Structure 1
C-alpha cells in the first residue's frame, strides 16, 4: 500500500523534472564556458609548446594564471559587486575550469617519472598545487588591497 499524499503536493516525478529544467541554464553556461576555457588552454599550448621530454612550463603557467584569475574573480563577485547567478558557473566553473588543466598536469608528472626524471616529476607534483594556491591567495589579496586603495582615493576626492 502507498502512503497517502498531501492534497496539494506535486508528484515526485514532476519535482525532478522541474529541478532538471532549473539546472539546464547552469549546465549550458558551464558547457559554453568550459569550451571557451579549453580553447584558450589549447591555444596556449600551440603558442608555447613543450617539446616531448621537456619540462611542461606551459601547463604550469596556465594553471598558475588560471588560479590567479580565480582569486581576482572570487573577490570581485563576492566582495565588490553581486553578479548575475549564471556568471559564477560560466566564468568560474566553465571558463577557468576549462582553462586550468590539472589532468594534463597529472599526465605530465607521470611522463616525467616514466622518462626517468623522478626528482623533476616529484618536484613538479609538489610545486604545482602550492603555486596554484599561492596564486589564488596573492591575487585575492592584491584585489582586496586595490579595492581598499580605490575606496580611500574616492573618499579623499569627496573630502577635498
Structure 2
C-alpha cells in the first residue's frame, strides 16, 4: 500500500452518518426522558418504558416502510433512516431498560408479573411495527404519504 492509497471507509462508518446517529440518539433519549416524566410507572409495572417501546415500534415500522415505498435508498432517505430510525428511535426506545425491569421482577419472585409484562410487550411491539408499516402502505396508496 502506498502513501497515497487508503483503505476505503465503509459508507455506514462515514463520520457524517455516525454523527447523525449520535445526534439523533441524544434527541431520542431526551424524548424518552420526557415521556418518563409525563407517564409515571405504577407499582411494579414500568408503564413509561412500555409506552415508549410500543410507540417506538409503531413509528419505526411506519418510517422504514414509508422510506422503502419511496424507492431507492438515496442520500436523503439514508439520512432520515439513520438519523431518525437508528438515532432518534434507537435512543427513544429502551428495550434494555425493559429487559432489566422484566428480569428484576422475575428475580424478586414476581415471575408472573415479569412474564405478564415481557411476553405481551414483545408480541404487541411486533404487531405495532406491522401496523405502522401497514399504515405507511395505506397512506402511500391514498396519496397522503407524500
In 1, the alpha carbon distance for the partners of 2:9 and 2:136 equals: 36
Correspondent of 1:107 among 93, 96, 100: 100
Aligned mates of 1:63, 1:47 — CA distance in 2: 15
Q: CA RMSD in A?
A: 2.4
**1:25–1:105: structure 2 CA closer, same or farther, 3 Å change rule?**
same
Cα deviation, residue 139, structure 1: 1.4
Candidates 39, 46, 51, aligned match of 1:48:
39
Query: Displacement of 1:146 after TM fit?
Result: 2.5
- The aligned runs of 1:55-134 (5 Å cut-off) are 55-80=45-70, 84=76, 85-134=78-127
Residue of 25, 31, 46 corresponding to 1:34: 25
Matched, 1:25 2:27: no
Q: Counterparts of 1:59 and 1:81 in 2: how far apart (Å)? A: 33
**Cα drift, residue 54 of structure 1:** 2.6
Instruction: Describe the SS at the equivalent of 2:124.
Output: helix
Which entry has the higher C-alpha Rg, 1 or 2?
1
Q: 2:129 is matched with which residue?
A: 136
Higher relative contact order by CA 8 Å / sep ≥ 6: 1 or 2? 2
How many residue pairs get aligned? The number is 140
Runs of 5+ in structure 2 lacking a partner? none
> Any gaps of 5 or more consecutive residues in structure 1?
152-160
- What secondary structure, in the 3-state scheme, does the structure 1 residue paired with 2:143 have? helix
Deviation of the 1:134 alpha carbon: 0.4
Cα offset for 1:57? 1.3
* SS of residue in 2 equivalent to 1:90: helix
